[in-house]
Amino acid sequence: MKIGITCYPTYGGSGIVATELGIELANRGHDVHFVSYANPIRLDTGNPRVHYHEVEVSTYPLFQYPPYCLALASRMAEVAERYDLDLLHVHYAIPHSISALLAQQMQAPSRKLPFITTLHGTDITLVGTDRSYLRITRFSIAASNAVTSISEYLCQRTREVFGVTGDIRVIPNFVNCDLYHPSPELREHTPLAPPGEKVLIHLSNFRPVKRTQDCIRILAEVRRHVAAHLLMVGDGPDRGPCEQLAAGLGVERHVSFLGKQNHVERLLPQADVLLLPSELESFGLAALEGMACGVPPIATRVGGLPELVTHGEDGYLESVADVAAHAARAVELLTDASLYERVSAAARATARRRFCTNLIIPRYEALYAEVCERYAGL
């Protein structure tokens, strides 16, 4: 098929999922056209079936707010026409599904261009705090030819927030288990931490919802019992406060801030435990990527995380802000080798059994075929 994908190309889970989906689809023989304002992160494949079309937004002085939504719609329509696209798949409702709807209408009646909207979470929670997006988001969800959400939790929330009664298909996020895999050798001898120290890792965009400072507090607590080093991967508004807190708690030598990294599959296998103390996660992609690498997550019991992590089996779920409980779980795992091996193996097994690309990508392919067939008959 010829598929147009739109996402936010920034350092966020929705962009990562959209990018990885496009790459996997291209590996399976589809032609994938990314339409966005910048090259999506992690899109560094040499696959000739992956194309990127930039949306240029005019900065004419009259426009205090450049109309990105319209420029995107226009580019979507242009790409659909030139490359004979079968459908558009947009990740994140605001404003991508409205742009897709406009592109669809611009093509009609000569070309049938259905579009699918995948909800990732913040597109729904944002509406919770900014009601000005409520009506337009509800409208764009209803106008989509299919809607998917990345967890049961998010599906439920969408129904509650928007009163949506139509079909929302839950297709969970996925991980390439061949690319993301454990490496006991690397874990034993990582160059990223002093020899003999255990390694904790956190991966996010350092937004307040991630509670990144809790990671620093957890490390400080863990170090009272076990020699450990923390890798903080990513960047965002709370990086500065984290650095200050590390200095304040006297653990700055034991924390490495690695900034934004594209190849997290090379970093994760070097860690023993993944920390995800978020206030909310609709899915928790970082936890899944860690699990595929055999790195047990210690996360919060919020949002979609309980659909991914089974407490005590393949990771741990604790209350938000309960630093002592998160630290105690880390100490437990890091000091009991047989417990560690069991939980680590179970984490990897969960990723393989339930969330591997070879299980999830065919579900998107089936949906694409179904939507195209249904839309052709309209």
Q: Rule CB under 6 A: is residue 169 a binding residue for ligand GMT?
A: no
Residues between 127 and 156 that touch ligand GMT (CB under 6 A): 150
Which of 122, 350 has the CB closer to ligand GMT? 122
209 binds ligand GMT (CB under 6 A): yes
Q: Which is nearer to ligand GMT, 114 or 121 (CB)?
A: 121
Distance separating alpha carbons of residues 19 and 42, to the nearest angstrom = 7
The CA distance from 285 to 288, in Å, is 5
Residues 272-291 that bind ligand GMT (CB under 6 A): 280-285
Is 95 a residue that touches ligand GMT (CB under 6 A)? no
Stretch that binds ligand GMT, among 68-76, 97-105, 115-123, 130-138 (CB under 6 A): 115-123
The reply to whether 17 sits near ligand GMT by the rule CB under 6 A is yes
The separation between the first and the last C-alpha atoms of the chain, rounded to the nearest angstrom, is 20
- Closest approach, Cβ 118 to ligand GMT, in A, equals 8
Integer CA distances (angstroms), 149 to 52, 93, 113, in order: 25, 11, 21
Residues 220-279 that bind ligand GMT (CB under 6 A): none
> In sequence order, what are the residues at sequence separation of 6 or more whose Cβ sits closer than 8 angstroms to the Cβ of residue 132?
none
Q: Which CB, 35 or 119, lies closer to ligand GMT?
A: 119
Examine residue 109 and say whether the peptide bond preceding it is cis (omega within 30 degrees of 0): yes
Give whichever of 124 and 346 is closer to ligand GMT, judged by the CB atom: 124
Strands (E), the chain: 2-6, 31-36, 50-54, 87-91, 115-119, 146-149, 169-170, 198-203, 228-233, 255-259, 273-276, 297-300, 316-318
Q: Which token pair is 368?
A: 């694409």
Provide the 8-state DSSP code for 215. Answer: H
Instruction: Say whether residue 9 binds ligand GMT (CB under 6 A).
Output: no
- Is the Cβ of residue 297 or residue 303 nearer to ligand GMT in the bound state? 303
Residues that bind ligand GMT (CB under 6 A): 12-15, 17, 92, 120-122, 150, 173, 205, 207, 209, 280-285, 303
